[in-house]
Amino acid sequence: MGVLESLELGFAVAMTWQNLAYCFLGVTVGMVVGVLPGIGHLAAISLLMPLTFHVPATAALVMLAGIYYGAQYGGSIASILLNLPGTASSAVICLDGYPMTQKGRAGPALLITTIASFIGSLLSIIVLIFMAPPLAQLALSFHSADYFSMMVLGLVAAGSISQGKPLIGLASVLIGLLIGLVGIDVNSGAMRMTFGVPELFNGVSIIVIAMALFGVVEVISSIGKTNGRAKDNTKITLRGLMPNRQEWRESFWPMMRGSAVGTGVGILPGTGGGSMAAFMSYAVEKRTSKTPEKFGKGAIAGIAGPESANNAAAQSAFIPTLTLGIPGDAIMALMLGALMIHGIAPGPRVITENPDLFWGLVVSFLIGNFMLLILNIPLIQFWVKILQIPYRFLFPAIVLLICVGVYSLSRSTVDVMLVAGFSAVGYLLIKLGFEAAPLLLGFILGPMLEENMRRSLLLSRGDFATFVERPISAVFLGWAAVLLIWVIKGELKRKPATAAPQDV
C-alpha cells in the first residue's frame, strides 16, 4: 500500500464524526491538564483510560494520544505566563518564556510556542509516515531472541537514562516486570504471586497501576504545594499576539533544529517523552546562537527550539511503539495497554493487520494538531482562567474519578483497594527515589519478555549463546551492555557530595 493510499484510508477513518469527537475531547482535556499544575498528562490519560473500554480501539487511541500532545501545548502556557511548568517537558520553556512575559512580550511568546508546537509535530508526523512501514517490515524478520534483546535494551535504557539514580531506575524496572507477572502463567497454568485472591488471577490491570502511581501519588505530593490561585496581570489581546519581524526571523531555524532533535530523541527508547528532547534542543540553540548571553533573559530561540522539540518527540515516540511494540516511555506504555485491552497484540503486525487503526491514528495527529492551533490562540484568556481553579477543590474530584474509573473496569471493589494499596507503597518508593515510568514499562513488557525468552531458549535447546549468536540480538545486547557499564562506571566515580537532592 502506497503512502497516498494509506493516507486516504487514514483520512477516511479519522474524519468520521466519532473519531473527530474523541480527537477533540482528547486535545481539549490535554490542553486543560497541561495548563493546570498538579495534574499531569499521565494522570489524565490514566483517568480517561477506563473510558476506552466503551469505545472502539481507534477512537480510544485517538483520544489518549490527543491528551498527550494537547498537554504539550498547554504546558507551555503556564510556563510562559506564570513561570509554572504544567508538564515536565515545559520546564525549559520557563527559562526564556517567563522573562519574555516580564518584558511585556507574553503574546508573541505564546504565539511562537503554538506555531513551534505545530511545526514540530508536523515534521515529526511526516517522518513517522515514511519511517514506520519499512521499520515494521524489518521487524517482521526478527526472531524471539532479537525481540528479547530489544526489550532488554529498551528496559535498561528506560531504567538508566531516567532522571534519578540509574541503579534505582533499574530496580524500578525489575519491580515493574515482577508486578507484570502476577496472575496465571499462560504456559503452565500455575498461579503466580496471587496469594489466593481470585481477582488477581488475571493479573493486575495496567489502569490500576497507572492510577495509583501517576494519579494518587501525584495528588498526595501536590497537596499543600500548588496553591492554584495564580495572580495574572497580563492582558493579552489578539493584536498583542503578533511577533515582530525580528522575532519571526530568530525563531525559524530554532524550530527546524528543534524538530530534528525532537524527532530523533523521541524515537530512542527510555528518553522519557519530551523533556529530554526539550533540554537537548535548548542546549543546541544556546551553543549555535550568536548571542548566547541572551538566553535566560527572554531569547525567543530558547522557547521556539525546545517547544518544537518536545512536540516532535511526542509524535515520533509512536514510531517504536506502533512498529516494534516497544514503548519508549510511560505514556507509550499506556497506549500499548489500551491496544491490548482491545485485543490487539502490539508489534510489527499492527500496521499490516490494522491499517485503519494505524493510519487513522496518524491522520488524527494532523487533525488534532490543527484543532490545537485553532483552539489555542483565541482561548488563551480562558486557559489563564482555568489556572485559577484552586487545587483544594480539584483534587477531591480527581480522587473520586479515580475510584469510579477503577471500579468501572470490572465492577470490582478489589481493584479500588489495590489502587489504595499500590499508591500507599508507591508513594514511599517514589519518595525513596524509585521511578514510576520505568516501572510501568517493565510492567507492560514483563510477560512479553518472559515469553520471548522461553521461546528462544526452547529453540536453542537451553543454550544462552543464542542471544549473542544472532547478529541483531547481539547488537541490541551490546548496546544494553554499554549502557550498563556506563551506569556502573558513573556510580563508582560519583563524588559523595555532588548528589544534589531534587524534590519534585
Partner 1 sequence: MNILQSKDFLSGVAAIIIGVFVAIVTAGYGFGSPRQMGPGFFPFSLGVMLTMIGILIALGALRSHEKLPHLNVWPYFVIPLAILTFALVMPRLGFGPAGVATVMLAGVAEPATRKLHLLMLALVLVPSVWLLFALGLGVQAPFFDWGF
Site for partner 1, residues 223 to 282, rule: CB under 8 A: 223-224
Cell of 143: 526472531
CB atoms within 10 A of CB 377: 16
Report DSSP letters for 96-118, one per residue: HHHHHHHTT-HHHHHHHHHHHHH
CB of 430 to partner 1, least distance (A): 10
By beta-carbon proximity to partner 1, the closer residue of 97 and 159 is 159
By beta-carbon proximity to partner 1, the closer residue of 179 and 261 is 179
Q: Using the rule CB under 8 A, is 419 a contact of partner 1?
A: yes
- Among the listed ranges 36-44, 91-99, 101-109, 396-404, the one in contact with partner 1 (CB under 8 A) is 396-404
Q: Using the rule CB under 8 A, is 163 a contact of partner 1?
A: no
Q: Using the rule CB under 8 A, is 193 a contact of partner 1?
A: yes
CB of 43 to partner 1, least distance (A): 13
Q: Using the rule CB under 8 A, is 400 a contact of partner 1?
A: yes
Q: Using the rule CB under 8 A, is 202 a contact of partner 1?
A: no
**How many residues make contact with partner 1 (CB under 8 A)?**
72
Please report which helix (H) or strand (E) contains residue 183, including its range. strand 183-184
CB of 75 to partner 1, least distance (A): 23
By beta-carbon proximity to partner 1, the closer residue of 231 and 411 is 411
**CA 415/CA 406 separation, integer angstroms:** 6
The 8-class DSSP code of residue 213 comes to I
Residues 332-391 that bind partner 1 (CB under 8 A): 391
Answer for which of 21, 256, 417, 474 binds partner 1 (CB under 8 A) is: 417
For residue 36, give the nearest of 67, 5, 75 by alpha carbon. 75
- Among the listed ranges 31-39, 160-168, 267-275, 473-481, the one in contact with partner 1 (CB under 8 A) is 160-168
**CA 341/CA 52 separation, integer angstroms:** 9
By beta-carbon proximity to partner 1, the closer residue of 212 and 304 is 212
Please report which helix (H) or strand (E) contains residue 192, including its range. strand 191-192
Q: Using the rule CB under 8 A, is 54 a contact of partner 1?
A: yes
Greatest Cα pair distance in the chain: 72
Answer for which of 5, 353, 469, 491 binds partner 1 (CB under 8 A) is: 491
Q: Are 325 and 449 in contact (CB under 8 A)?
A: no
14, 141, 356 from 8: Cα distances, Å: 10, 28, 10
CB of 223 to partner 1, least distance (A): 4
192: phi then psi, degrees, rounded to nearest 5: -120, 125
Q: Using the rule CB under 8 A, is 161 a contact of partner 1?
A: no
Q: Are 106 and 81 in contact (CB under 8 A)?
A: yes
Residues 299-328 that bind partner 1 (CB under 8 A): none
- Among the listed ranges 31-39, 104-112, 360-368, 419-427, the one in contact with partner 1 (CB under 8 A) is 419-427
Q: Using the rule CB under 8 A, is 221 a contact of partner 1?
A: yes
Residues 440-459 that bind partner 1 (CB under 8 A): 449-450, 453-454, 457-458
The 8-class DSSP code of residue 164 comes to S
CB of 425 to partner 1, least distance (A): 9
CB of 183 to partner 1, least distance (A): 11
**CA 13/CA 61 separation, integer angstroms:** 13
**CA 52/CA 57 separation, integer angstroms:** 7
Q: Using the rule CB under 8 A, is 295 a contact of partner 1?
A: no
CB of 133 to partner 1, least distance (A): 33
Q: Using the rule CB under 8 A, is 24 a contact of partner 1?
A: no
Amino acid letter at 245? R
Q: Are 469 and 203 in contact (CB under 8 A)?
A: no
The 8-class DSSP code of residue 214 comes to I
Answer for which of 296, 392, 482, 486 binds partner 1 (CB under 8 A) is: 392
Q: Using the rule CB under 8 A, is 157 a contact of partner 1?
A: no
Answer for which of 340, 379, 408, 475 binds partner 1 (CB under 8 A) is: 408
Chain centroid offset of residue 22 CA:
19
The 8-class DSSP code of residue 241 comes to G
Cell of 150: 530489544
Q: Using the rule CB under 8 A, is 56 a contact of partner 1?
A: no
